[in-house]
Chain A
Amino acid sequence: MTSIGTGYDLANSIFSPDGRNFQVEYAVKAVENGGTSIGIRCKDGVVLAVEKIITSKLLKPGANKRIATVDRHLGVVYSGMVPDGRHFIERARDEARAWRDTFKTPISTADLASRMGGYLQAYTLYQSVRPFGITAIIGGFDSPAELPVDGEVGSGPACGAGGKVAGKTHGGPFLYMIEPSGLYWGYYGAATGKGRQAAKAELEKLDLGGPGGPALTLEQAVKEAARIIYLSHDESKDKEFELEMTWISGPDGPTKGLHQEVPKELREEAERLAKKAMEADEEDEGKEEKMEE
């Protein structure tokens, strides 16, 4: 490694002559060692999933959650260094609270992504800090309806708070991914961590970015997310893992606009289908090999 950096990788805030910040690139390496996490933006919501690798049999199953809630309508999942992720979440919650203090309304997914992108970018600028060893996926459902202002006493103006155009849809499901450099984009489907290559290939096959918006429904997305996590899991490296999944629907959907864990029955059903799909794949491969003989 040191030979690649040739002295330009010892600190943030120093560019290499060919314009790279090596500390940030090393942070990306830390992310690439973390368990796979994915996010899918579908027609009526967002699904987040993570492959939680079991490092010890002494850990209680289902404890130590990796996907966190920010405000009530946002979820964050990340791959990479878990303590860095915890700090990221803490900061995201502070930002969401500060937003409410100022504007008396929940923060939008785009605004939270922007604030957190700015925060991560600041950690690429100074000698005294290192970049975050995580890539985070933020999913949220911004309310399409006119929301009452926090602490609203009366019914407010009949025309609403303003800023909404009649006949135009507002709010909806959103998905953002933030990298250690602070770079963030909005995505139809996002994947990071160990199995990101396989996961991205599968996400691209789904109907997520059609001209009329995504065709995939929330329940389908839950099943696809489980399948993709199972598929991108590398059994030769890590034996066991736990699947953690959360979802956010619109106000009319199953979570009523809140970020919640996928109910146990639905998750187990999705896992069962994922395992079945894996077995079917293996059989197909077996057949092909026989045909070649």
Chain B
Amino acid sequence: MDHRPQAWGRPRDDVYGPYDASYLQTSGPKTATQSPVVTGTSVIAIKFKDGVVMAADNLASYGSLARFTDVKRLRPFLSTSVVGFGGDVSDMQYLDRHLTELAIDEAYEHESSAAGTSGGAPGGQLNAANLHKYLSKLMYRRRNDFDPLWNQVLVAGFDGAGKPFLGSVDLRGTAFAAPSLASGFGAMLAQPIMRRHAATDADAAALSREQAVQIVRDCMKVLFYRDARSLDRYSLAVVTRDGVEISEDERLEQQSWAFAERVRGYGTQVV
């Protein structure tokens, strides 16, 4: 008998030949996301006088299948900012957990000054502009590892000066800020509409909250009409200095599909 404990419970070498240890390797080949699997479509947002409005529908698609219809794609951060996720849902989940951890650590760092500071996040905590910069570094680093987080993310809230802030980061780490932003199909369909109302920061500063919400609602309707991976149920977030309000059960009202009859150029139609 082989008296070495390492050999116990293993096929005997003298009977079966030496065991092929390559099956025991703990490290396989390096893997990375090649394409997103379950995805969310556009996120849109526009600044107004006292803050930012953001919206995204509640759909997660599996390819062209409308797989999950109750998905929350707008997440609050420290009750001062909102992050909206387009793209891969599992990567969104990873980022959301990461941001939760970050928010807790922030509370530890700044607890001594937690009470009574004016403007922006309490106690000098991460504001939306800081968070945008952080996410851009995180996404760029992952892209340099050739393992990107397959998302385009919008960050809404306030900057260090207490002004409304809206920024975007994509899976390559490309980061920019603008008075209105849209990811995915929204960049083609909703962005021009929002630009009509807020081409510059000065225009955005003239918008009221009601106007901004109405613009976003109109854009969501256009997106539902024309984007085949969208849904008529959506979430709407409003960030102001008083905090974050997210309503996750919005519905598109007063749809009119009359225009559909005039659409030409696909299917079995002959023009």
Contact = CB atoms under 8 A, between A and B. Distances in A.
B94 A263 contact: no
Interface in B105-140: 107-108, 111-112, 114-116
A71 B93 contact: no
Nearest to A104: B97
A100 interface: yes
Nearest to A106: B104
Contacts of A153: 60, 68, 71-72, 89, 92-93
Contacts of A63: 112
B115 A261 contact: yes
A151 B108 contact: no
A151 B96 contact: yes
A63 B107 CA distance: 16
Nearest to B115: A261
B112 A154 contact: no
B101 A97 contact: yes
Nearest to A260: B114
A71 B115 contact: no
A72 B89 CA distance: 26
B116 A264 contact: yes
B100 interface: yes
Interface string A141-178: 00000000011111100000000000000000000000
A68 B111 contact: yes
A69 B68 contact: no
Which range holds the interface residue count of chain A? Answer: 20 to 34
Most buried by A among B72, B101, B108: B108
Interface in B232-250: none
Contacts of A93: 108
A151 B115 contact: no
B201 interface: no
Contacts of B68: 153-154
A101 to B, nearest CB: 9
A264 B97 CA distance: 33
A260 B89 CA distance: 33
B260 to A, nearest CB: 30
Contacts of A276: none
Contact of B114 (A97, A104, A261): A261
Interface SS, A side:
loop
Contacts of A150: 96-97, 100
A65 B112 contact: yes
B108 A69 contact: yes
A24 B94 CA distance: 44
Contacts of B96: 150-151
A100 B100 CA distance: 10
A79 B107 CA distance: 23
B115 A264 contact: yes
A110 to B, nearest CB: 20
B41 to A, nearest CB: 15
Nearest to A96: B104
Nearest to B93: A151
B115 A65 contact: no
A72 B107 CA distance: 8
A126 B31 CA distance: 44
A72 B96 CA distance: 17
Interface in A57-74: 63, 65, 68-69, 71-72
Contacts of A68: 108, 111
B123 to A, nearest CB: 10
A153 B95 CA distance: 12
A261 B60 CA distance: 40
A97 B101 CA distance: 8
Nearest to A153: B71
Interface string B53-70: 000000010000000101
A151 B94 contact: yes
Contact of A65 (B70, B71, B111, B116): B111
A89 to B, nearest CB: 9
A65 B107 CA distance: 14
Given A151-B94, A154-B71, 17 more contacts: A65-B111, A65-B112, A68-B108, A69-B108, A69-B111, A71-B104, A72-B107, A93-B108, A97-B104, A150-B96, A151-B93, A151-B100, A153-B93, A154-B70, A154-B72, A260-B115, A264-B116
5 contacts: A97-B101, A150-B97, A150-B100, A154-B71, A155-B70
9 tightest CB-CB pairs across the interface, nearest first? Answer: A151-B97, A151-B93, A151-B96, A155-B70, A154-B70, A65-B112, A261-B115, A150-B97, A153-B71
Interface of A: 63, 65, 68-69, 71-72, 93, 97, 100, 104, 150-155, 260-261, 263-264
